[in-house]
């Protein structure tokens, strides 16, 4: 490895050769023992005993990518052992997040007498109690933060039951996969090969925006290899409708921005079962029509997202004196407001809650929140919980509900808590640079080494470098609304010219920078567009 790569690893806390080697080559043999997850050993024993008794297992998932892929992992694992597993994925528009008693009763009517939850259940006290009343064995597997009271399930498997464990940051699909790995040894018959499930694990983990370090890094890195092979018909079809070759090598960013939204669109706009059917399709011919339908749904989702974002930006402009935003639109789509909240945070760098009218007929406002790295959104919602009907989530993302008459109180209390936590002055986003990097040092060898640091994401950001002063030799805008910028930068010392792209920066990186000398913060990439690898710079910021 080059000295630059070693220096980057050292600065990120990897200070010996063994640690660096595991990071660069995260093999499956480096995975933790599944039983290190709190409650997993008990959960496995309960399920194995229930199967041995002839009980019918059903799985309850969630409507987002994490929940859909976790459901697919369980159904495919048991399917490979000849056991068909009934499932329930809640309709976001009609049922909302998590479990509900009606769905539990429907599964019982289908003959399910043993229920496994994936990516949900830790806060569903009433539905779990109803399942127990109906004679079901209940195993909860989840990764969300537990509340003060736990459901009365037969077993609860959740890495967050105990702080500081090796599997703390697993997504819901990661927990489900580890559960299946452990079950594989206890169920009758020969163990099955679980490695083909890793593409689902990678897809769900990347989409859930958990830290891509530790166990998640191992799962995602190996899952990306399975996604590249695209032996799963649904994954191949998903890549094709996302404008990739069937066996294209994709990074976490490409999956997060292109593949995952098409799976997510099904749950956001209506029926998540379409996405599940895609992932479990038996042939490419079966998968392709579903993938095309999801692509169309995603296009409509993007259209609505842009409309809502413009209205949300207008509201935010009128509230720029506030440290925390609470935005509200009566008719905003509940499946899209979380994405828009992310865009508001990206633009204004303030904790943001976006609310709309719930369509589940409860007369409540339903909301999604996103935060900046300096503010724990879950703790923020705890602080204002007196005006909320319910909430849940993580440090950076959360959901909530409240009565319409409490909207003003929430706006005031949330802003006050952000001010108390962060201070009255709005924060400015900062970029942490890894190194200064001259254009003459950027070559395919270095970029191949940088790719070994993938997958990039939370906890493992893409390396970011600074140029010396370079000249903007060319400048043009592109995109549907000319919102993106393409430049050609010239190093006057060596004469090297490299292209770069600045996404959604046309309003600030204008044509007036043409022929000016500037410094840029950037990540160098190998652009494989149209199959020809070229060097391209992803521009993040600049100074004159």
Does residue 175 share a domain with residue 284?
Answer: yes
pLDDT at 456: 92
Asked, for residue 303, whether it belongs to a domain, the answer is: no
Asked, for residue 26, whether it belongs to a domain, the answer is: no
What is the DSSP annotation of 300-353?
A: HHHHHHHHHHHHHHHHHHHTTT-SSEEEE-TT--TTTHHHHHHHHHHHH-S-EE
Answer whether residue 27 shows pLDDT above 70: yes
Q: Is the peptide bond before 94 cis (omega within 30 degrees of 0)?
A: no
pLDDT at 530: 66
For residues 140 and 154, what is the distance between their CA atoms, to the nearest angstrom? 8
Which domain CATH number covers 446?
2.40.50.460
Host H or E run for residue 250: none
Asked, for residue 100, whether it belongs to a domain, the answer is: yes
The SS3 of residue 432 is: coil
The domain boundary residue, chosen from 365, 398, 422? 422
Mean pLDDT along residues 353-362? 79
| pLDDT band, residue 238 (cuts 50/70/90) | very high
Does residue 401 share a domain with residue 282?
Answer: no
Share of the chain above pLDDT 90, in %: 84
Mean pLDDT along residues 161-176? 94
Structure-derived torsion over alpha carbons of residues 334, 339, 342, 346, reported in degrees to the nearest 10: -130
The domain boundary residue, chosen from 393, 422, 451? 422
Does residue 539 share a domain with residue 465?
Answer: yes
Does residue 253 share a domain with residue 106?
Answer: yes
Asked, for residue 428, whether it belongs to a domain, the answer is: no
Answer whether residue 220 shows pLDDT above 70: yes
Does residue 379 share a domain with residue 412?
Answer: yes
Q: For 103-123, write each residue's pLDDT tens digit.
A: 999 999 999 999 999 999 999
Contact of 84 with 136, CB cutoff 8 Å: no
Answer whether residue 75 shows pLDDT above 60: yes
Q: How many structural domains comprise the chain? A: 3
Mean pLDDT along residues 426-455? 91
Mean pLDDT along residues 232-237? 98
Answer whether residue 342 shows pLDDT above 90: yes
Structure-derived torsion over alpha carbons of residues 105, 110, 114, 117, reported in degrees to the nearest 10: -70
Answer whether residue 360 shows pLDDT above 60: no
Answer whether residue 94 shows pLDDT above 90: no
Does residue 289 share a domain with residue 154?
Answer: yes
Q: In the chain, what is the straight-line distance between the N-terminal and C-terminal CA atoms, in Å? A: 33
| pLDDT band, residue 470 (cuts 50/70/90) | very high
pTM of the entire structure? 0.88
Report how many helices (DSSP H) and strands (DSSP E) the chain contains, helices first. 18, 17
Does residue 283 share a domain with residue 342?
Answer: no
Asked, for residue 309, whether it belongs to a domain, the answer is: no
Strand partners, 355: 328, 367
pLDDT at 427: 87
Does residue 280 share a domain with residue 253?
Answer: yes
Asked, for residue 301, whether it belongs to a domain, the answer is: no
The domain boundary residue, chosen from 261, 294, 327? 294
Does residue 92 share a domain with residue 185?
Answer: yes
Asked, for residue 113, whether it belongs to a domain, the answer is: yes
For 199, 224, 248, the CA distances from 528, given in Å and listed in that order, are: 21, 17, 9
Q: For 313-324, write each residue's pLDDT tens digit.
A: 999 999 999 999
| pLDDT band, residue 164 (cuts 50/70/90) | confident
Pairing of strands 114-118, 57-60: parallel
Domain limits at 499? Answer: 435-543
Does residue 413 share a domain with residue 354?
Answer: yes
Asked, for residue 305, whether it belongs to a domain, the answer is: no
Angle of CA points 310, 315, 319, to nearest 5°: 140
Which domain CATH number covers 403?
3.10.310.30
Does residue 65 share a domain with residue 87?
Answer: yes
pLDDT at 314: 97
Mean pLDDT along residues 354-368? 83
For 205, 236, 372, 407, 525, the CA distances from 209, given in Å and listed in that order, are: 7, 23, 14, 28, 21
Sign of CA dihedral 218, 281, 276, 102: negative
Contact of 240 with 290, CB cutoff 8 Å: no
Does residue 132 share a domain with residue 226?
Answer: yes
Share of the chain above pLDDT 70, in %: 99
Mean pLDDT along residues 346-367? 87
Which domain CATH number covers 44?
3.90.1640.30
Contact of 531 with 245, CB cutoff 8 Å: yes
Contact of 398 with 392, CB cutoff 8 Å: yes
For residues 103 and 191, what is the distance between their CA atoms, to the nearest angstrom? 32
Q: For 5-15, write each residue's pLDDT tens digit.
A: 999 999 999 99
What token pair was written down for 145?
Answer: 């933060």
Strand order of the β-sheet with 325-328 is 325-328, 352-357, 365-370, 397-402, 390-393
């Amino acid at each position: 490895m080059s000295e630059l790569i070693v220096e980057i690893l050292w600065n990120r806390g990897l200070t010996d050769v063994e640690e660096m080697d595991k990071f660069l080559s995260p093999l499956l043999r480096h995975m933790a023992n599944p039983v290190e997850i709190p409650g997993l050993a008990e959960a496995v024993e309960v399920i194995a005993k229930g199967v041995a008794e002839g009980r019918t297992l059903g799985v309850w998932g969630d409507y987002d990518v994490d929940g859909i892929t976790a459901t697919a992992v369980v159904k495919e694992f048991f399917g490979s052992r000849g056991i068909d597993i009934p499932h329930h994925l809640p309709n976001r528009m009609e049922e909302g997040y998590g479990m509900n008693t009606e769905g539990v009763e429907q599964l019982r009517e289908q003959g399910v007498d043993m229920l496994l939850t994936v990516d949900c259940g830790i806060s569903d006290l009433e539905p779990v109690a109803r399942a127990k009343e109906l004679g079901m064995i209940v195993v909860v597997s989840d990764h969300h933060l537990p509340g003060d009271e736990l459901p009365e399930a037969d077993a609860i498997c959740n890495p967050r039951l105990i702080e500081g464990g090796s599997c703390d940051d697993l997504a819901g699909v990661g927990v489900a996969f580890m559960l299946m790995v452990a079950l594989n040894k206890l169920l009758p018959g020969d163990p099955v090969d679980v490695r083909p499930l890793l593409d689902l694990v990678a897809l769900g983990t990347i989409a859930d925006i958990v830290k891509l370090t530790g166990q998640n890094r191992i799962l995602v890195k190996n899952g990306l290899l399975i996604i590249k092979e695209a032996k799963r018909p649904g994954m191949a079809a998903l890549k094709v409708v996302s404008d990739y070759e069937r066996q294209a090598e994709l990074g976490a960013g490409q999956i997060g921005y292109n593949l995952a939204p098409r799976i997510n669109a099904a749950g956001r706009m209506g029926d998540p079962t379409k996405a599940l059917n895609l992932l479990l399709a038996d042939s490419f011919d079966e998968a392709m029509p579903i993938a095309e339908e999801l692509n169309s749904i995603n296009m409509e989702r993007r259209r609505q997202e842009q409309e809502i974002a413009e209205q949300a930006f207008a509201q935010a402009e009128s509230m720029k004196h506030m440290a925390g935003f609470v935005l509200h639109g009566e008719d905003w789509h509940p499946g899209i407001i979380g994405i828009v909240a992310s865009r508001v945070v990206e633009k204004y760098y303030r904790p943001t809650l976006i609310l709309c009218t719930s369509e589940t007929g409860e007369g409540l406002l339903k909301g999604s929140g996103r935060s900046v790295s300096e503010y724990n959104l879950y703790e923020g919602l705890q602080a204002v919980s007196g005006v909320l009907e319910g909430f849940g989530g993580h440090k950076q993302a959360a959901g909530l509900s409240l009565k319409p008459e409490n909207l003003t109180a929430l706006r005031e209390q949330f802003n006050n808590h952000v001010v108390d936590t962060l201070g009255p002055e709005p924060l400015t986003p900062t970029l942490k640079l890894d190194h200064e990097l001259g254009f003459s040092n950027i070559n395919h060898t270095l970029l191949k080494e940088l790719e070994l640091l993938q997958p990039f994401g939370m906890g493992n950001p893409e390396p970011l470098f600074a140029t010396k002063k370079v000249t903007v030799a060319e400048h043009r805008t592109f995109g549907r609304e000319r919102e993106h910028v393409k430049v050609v930068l010239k190093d006057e010392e060596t004469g090297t010219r490299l292209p770069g792209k600045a996404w959604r920066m046309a309003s600030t990186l204008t044509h007036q920078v043409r022929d000016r000398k500037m410094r840029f913060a950037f990540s160098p990439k190998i652009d494989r567009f149209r199959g020809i690898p070229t060097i391209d710079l992803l521009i993040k910021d600049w100074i004159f």
